Chain A
Amino acid sequence: MNRYTGRTFALELVLIAVAAIFMVPILVLISVALRDPNSTPGFLGFTWPLHFENISTAWTASAMGPSLVNSIVITTVSVALIIVVASAASYTITRRTQRWSRGVFYLFLTGFLFPGQLAMLPLYLTFSKAGLVGNPVTVILIYVAGHMPFTVFLYCAFLRDLPRDYEEAATIDGAGSLRMFWTVVFPLARPVTGTVAILTALGVWNDFLNPLLYLTGGNTRTAPLSVYTFVGEYSANWPLVFSALITSVIPILVAYFLMQRFIMRGFASGLKG
């Protein structure tokens, strides 16, 4: 069953054909971005000469540089905060046997049932009254809270099955709960931390609705929001629009190609729960 047979070869051809079809939109994205800005849309494929200057024109006109920096900062801070806060909470939830620890766990689980749209308006008006619209701290808070149910769920599932031997040894050595968590439990939970980091980073980086609400018009736009604004201004100029789209996804694509093995594993293991 593990031999490469004629049937495997046929399967390989079919899969490659399907992959080629899957890549057509990406090919169109690249080819249109490099087209003469005055050309008519339509046809598939590249047209010569390639207009690489579209990329730099769009980069400048969309102010993508600062937006990418904002996206990177917001994503990094959100991921770091959610990991620290949720792992600490999960540690307590799984190591305490009182009734409240179960209650707290279920409180977090209810979050799976909220789609976010109901809270959107009250939350926006609250933040708006507090003068926090336009402030990246606002979206970071929303990301940390919004990713809490899933993150706590993952950490709790892992920590419940984690043998207590190391912790018992550390107790004998006189470690307090903070040191125990930080030097013993947190390093052991590295597989979950990796999964959480990847899933949260992707979710935060690609999020559009929250920046649309909270960062529109400000000088701390994220990459998706800059794309949206730019498309609004240059809607008929597809080569420039597509150049902006490409620059907006470069960091996440680079991260993807550098870490694809961990990403695939993280996705799969994290989602299996």
Chain B
Amino acid sequence: MWFVIPAVLVYVAVVIAPNVQGLAYSFTDWDGFGAAASFVGIDNYRHVFADDNAVGSIVNTFVLTLLVTVGQNVIGLLLALGLNSQVKSRYLLRLVFFLPVVLTPIVAGYLWKYLLMPEGTLNAVLGSLGLDGLQQDWLGDPDLVLYAVCAAIVWQGAGYSMVIYLAGLQAVPSEALEAAAMDGAGPVRRTWSITLPLINGAIVVNLLLTVLGNLKQFDTVFSMTSGGPAGASETMATTVYKSAFLYLQYPNALAQGVLLTLVVGVIGFVQYRLTQRKALA
């Protein structure tokens, strides 16, 4: 029985206790020092919802999570379907598509910052193709910046989804696909009616990972835009960090932390309940 004790001790001390402490203090005017905090009810939460930047970061987080989840899974699945074939270069291509996954997220963030800045690579390429009209200040335009960040995240994560989809595809029996081909089903039909239902487990795992991972997106945003311009790419995770460690607004940071935990917890729980039977099958 004492085998579990080290694990439980470090887990409770470093994960459970500070979360409980944070939740409790989010209802006080705690200044970070000592216990001289008094109960203020939901005041901190009211402040968060009265703050346009904080509310914007919640909206941004949902938009980013949705776009990245769709983009990364569609691209990852298409790549996996393509590389699960007899293509000769498939092993080399798997390496290539997985390479960005290994890259440190803040390194990828700085790289994409360079690609997308006004005098950066994308605009230079557009210019040399005579497409000057398409040149944009991708990271400086509040209407574009979130999509630019999403593109960087999808580029980095598509290989991750691809590998999980490939693992699922390798378990699909080729007899079923051959039988369907004999019955006259084309490749699209075979994929849709046979392959996709059979890789349900991989789809579920991928959706869980991309949704939960991106709800707390911090590194790429922080290195690419630091949430700017004017908060247009701020996420819940970056606002929690800034409130806590730049603006030293401890109670607000905790209230935002509770909100983020609620979002991740509820969405994660619902996703898990909706899909657990299929995922475990």
Contact = CB atoms under 8 A, between A and B. Distances in A.
A and B found bound together? yes
Interface of A: 1-4, 8, 11-12, 14-16, 18-19, 22-26, 28-29, 32, 40-44, 85-86, 88-89, 91-93, 96, 101, 104, 107-108, 110-126, 141-142, 144-146, 148-149, 152, 177, 181, 202, 205-206, 208-209, 213, 223-224, 227-228, 231, 238, 241-242, 245, 248-249, 252-253, 256-257, 260, 263-264, 267-269, 271-273
Contact of B253 (A113, A121, A249): A121
Contacts of B229: none
Interface of B: 1, 3-4, 6-8, 10-19, 21-23, 25, 32, 79, 82-83, 85-89, 93-100, 102-108, 110-112, 114-115, 117, 119-121, 123-125, 128, 155, 158, 160, 163-164, 166-168, 174, 177-178, 181, 201-202, 205, 209, 212, 215-216, 218-219, 222-223, 236-237, 240-241, 244-245, 250, 253-254, 256-258, 260-261, 264-265, 268-269, 279-280
B3 A228 contact: no
Nearest to B97: A22
15 contacts: A4-B86, A25-B111, A32-B114, A42-B121, A114-B265, A117-B237, A119-B14, A119-B15, A120-B240, A120-B241, A145-B13, A148-B10, A209-B219, A267-B160, A268-B166
B112 A25 contact: yes
Contacts of A113: 261, 264-265, 268-269
Contacts of A122: 17-19, 21-22, 25, 254
A40 B96 contact: no
B262 to A, nearest CB: 9
B167 A272 contact: yes
Contacts of A241: 110
A223 to B, nearest CB: 7
A227 B86 contact: no
Contacts of B269: 113
Given A3-B86, A12-B89, A16-B93, A88 B268 contact: no
Given A15-B83, A15-B89, A118 B23 contact: yes
B104 A205 contact: yes
Contacts of B115: 25, 28
Residue from A42, A144, A273 whose CB has the most chain B CB atoms within 10 Å: A42
A119 to B, nearest CB: 4
A1 B174 contact: yes
Contacts of A248: 104, 107
B164 A89 contact: no
B253 to A, nearest CB: 5
Contact of B32 (A32, A125, A213): A125
A44 B129 CA distance: 12
A117 B252 CA distance: 12
A41 B122 CA distance: 11
Given A119-B19, A209-B219, A269-B167, A111 B120 contact: no
